[in-house]
Amino acid sequence: MAVGHPLDPYLRTDRLPTMWCPGCGLGVVLGTLLRAIDRRIREGRLRRENVAFVGGIGCSARMTLYPLFDSAHVIHGRAIPFALGVKIVKPKMKMIVVGGDGDIAAIGGNHILHALRRNADLLVVMANNMIYGMTGGQLAPTTPRGLYTTTTPYGNPEREINMVRLAAALGANYVARGSTTHPQLLEQLFYKALAKRGLAFVEVLSTCPEIFGRHIDFRSPVDLYLELRKRIVVKAKPSVEESDYNWEKGFVIGEFVDKDEPGYIEVYLDYLSKALEKQPS
């Protein structure tokens, strides 16, 4: 009989159990991401010492604290520029930015715009629980219209942001949306995203029973999980136009964009070598 979990070699086990509430989807996101990394390491496509995690602030950014890899926990919303800085200095690194919808779509919104525009060589994982969980359940840009939160007791009047369309519009190499209710599919998305050059953006719909679920009457982790699973639409090869993000019509998950254009670092190093040639000696 084995004594440890198969993912224990990749975890800082002394920090477990995690600080997340019971039934939080973030553990599933981290687990599937580590399984995908494990598969890539076994294949020899990735070296363990070259993987690093960067996270900002929020429950999701606490994901950087548990994996046994190099990791950095930086200021709110600034995980992407930090990761890109490391990547420019050490192009061999595989930088994984983990963050929540508040960290990446809201306060770090400008940074994701420009990382997407540059096609920066990062893997950006956005765990989307549709609310600001850590600060007490305020309205997030990703909260679907009509839902109740702490700051919208009569329902959310705002339109929600669809990050898949944003990422596709600005030309990321890989854009996918997964859900913690479909963990095997999510692992496959991470597995593919890890081998991409350029920016790979994976949005993960996650559950927050403690803060999000309590305002919409799905207080128990299982209820919210089943409710989200009902609203997930799995499509094999969906187009970006089909990427519905709507509480009523459902959330389409799958792989939206998969192309192979040169990433920022490649282009940057090319320009750098040209510039060095032109320098008078």
Partner 1 sequence: MISVLTERCKECGMCVTVCPTKVLEIGSVRNRRGYRYAVPAHPEKCIGCRLCEYSCPDFAIFVEVGAR
Interface residues with partner 1 (CB under 8 A) are: 1-2, 5-8, 11, 16-18, 20-28, 31-32, 180, 183-184, 187, 220-222, 225-226
Decide: 85 and 66 in contact? Cβ < 8 Å.
no
d(CA 139, CA 122): 28
Smaller CB separation from partner 1, 103 or 187: 187
CB of 269 to partner 1, least distance (A): 38
CB of 251 to partner 1, least distance (A): 18
Smaller CB separation from partner 1, 172 or 224: 224
Closest CA to 202 of 169, 236, 180, 177: 177
What kind and span of H or E run contains 127? strand 123-128
Smaller CB separation from partner 1, 5 or 90: 5
Rg from Cα positions in the chain: 19
Smaller CB separation from partner 1, 229 or 259: 229
What is the SS3 string spanning 16-54?
A: CCCCCCCCCCHHHHHHHHHHHHHHHHHHCCCCHHHEEEE
How far is residue 210 CA from its own chain's centroid? 21
Length of the chain: 281
CB of 267 to partner 1, least distance (A): 38
Place of tokens 């403690």: 210
CB of 158 to partner 1, least distance (A): 29
CB of 238 to partner 1, least distance (A): 23
CB of 161 to partner 1, least distance (A): 25
Smaller CB separation from partner 1, 117 or 192: 192
Q: What 3-state class would DSSP assign to 266? A: helix
The Cα angle at residue 196 between residues 190 and 199, in degrees rounded to 5: 90
Smaller CB separation from partner 1, 27 or 254: 27
